Amino acid sequence: MKRMFIGCLLSAVVGGVVAAWLTNPSATWPGDQHALAQAPFSSSASAVSRAEPRVAAVQASAADTPLTPEEVTNIRVYEATNRGVVNINTKFEASDRFFFFSVPGQGAGSGSVIDKQGHVLTNYHVVEDADQIQVTLSSGYVDKDAELIGYDAENDIAILKVDAPADQLYPISFGHSGNLQVGQRVYALGNPFGFEGTITTGIISNLNRTLPSRVRDRELQSIIQTDAALNPGNSGGPLLDTSGRMIGMNVAIASKSQQNAGIGFAIPINRIARYVPELIRNGRIIRPDLGIVSVRETDRGLQIIDMNEAGPAARAGLRGQRVMRRQVRRGPFVEIKLTKDLSQTDFILEVDGEPVETGDALIEKIESHRPGDAINLTILRDGQRQRVNVTLGAS
């Protein structure tokens, strides 16, 4: 009797499943990994809405343990974006510090598919000096010789090109980073320690942090700080909002052990979006050039020290330090001694009517323009405020 009862019960269950499939053959089942987001990602569609069928299936299969709203959001974001994250492995030759010969080295990081043409966004430091770049898509497709088509070391941005079928590329849409709030929930996707497809969650811990740039004497401004767990291998991966849109690119962690310590950083997407088209088109960033080489921060303003003699600032009549040459006789020999005269230098106070108090602030203002743009500088000369128009050149 017990065996007969169990057999009847199994028959009823199987019959119910078959009947349900016959009446609705297009339904998404819990094991269907490819039912989500068949259409490519676009900025006009929410990533979360594309994960609805998968989330509904998960909830239906776990009716006895219903998901919380927070868990539902986590699943939606992961299912909508995970296929757009790639694993990057590099090979390079490194110099041995003791024996002065090259030894093979390897590196790893993450990246984000950004279009159907196979462009992948990552950090420049992930692929810097690489002799070979291997990109693995979430589907398992591998491009062993991905091409570095553009990079900007100063902002730690690189664009790769992978040779992959369009139907295996799932671009992640760009969001906006101009209106982020401290406390806002975020998600980090990537391949920490080689564990591909890893998602961590946290909040925006703070905004407008500053990090050293890979270019000497420059800094990365307006960096996002997050407590979402980041580890080696996360670099280049996306930082996402609850709609599955990329609001930043993970770039660094603050840790003495090089492992997660609850302090991670991401480059804001608004800055990245400004440079990506030019990197794809030209392979590099053509920056606006003011023609000022160095300034000194003083309580009177930014004192101009060195300028390019034929640069835009010099052509506009701005004044930096003067180099004085005089002959000094030492016995039978005559030496040329150089002295610097700062008595007539100009001090920069404002750019287009907005105060600038640091060298980085001046650079930020200049780089918000394009070569050929005209800017208005407010300067202090001989104790008097003056306005000078400068047409920016190209770096």
145 and 160 Cβ atoms separated by less than 8 Å: no
Active site residue 235: yes
Task: Provide the token pair at 305.
Answer: 């020290």
Reduced DSSP (H G I as helix, E B as strand, rest coil) percent helix, strand, coil of the chain, to 5: 25, 40, 40
DSSP state of 16: H
Q: Quote the Cα angle for 247-69-72, to 5°.
A: 65
Q: How many other CB atoms are there within 10 angstroms of residue 24's CB atom?
A: 9
The one catalytic residue in 143, 152, 156, 227 is: 156
Q: How many other CB atoms are there within 10 angstroms of residue 229's CB atom?
A: 19
Give the integer Cα–Cα distance in Å for 290 and 296. Answer: 16
DSSP state of 174: B
Q: How many other CB atoms are there within 10 angstroms of residue 274's CB atom?
A: 13
Q: How many other CB atoms are there within 10 angstroms of residue 336's CB atom?
A: 8
From 209, 218, 249, 252, select the one nearest 364 (Cα to Cα): 218
- Residue 282 — φ and ψ, nearest 5°? -110, -15
Active site residue 156: yes
Burial class (CB in 10 A: 0-12, 13-18, 19+), 262: middle
The one catalytic residue in 110, 119, 125, 177 is: 125
Give the integer Cα–Cα distance in Å for 184 and 68. Answer: 18
Active site residue 115: no
Task: Provide the token pair at 334.
Answer: 């005559």
Can you spell out the DSSP letters for 359-382? Answer: HHHHHHHHHTS-TT-EEEEEEEET
DSSP state of 191: -
Q: Quote the Cα angle for 124-39-143, to 5°.
A: 40
Catalytically annotated residues: 125, 156, 235
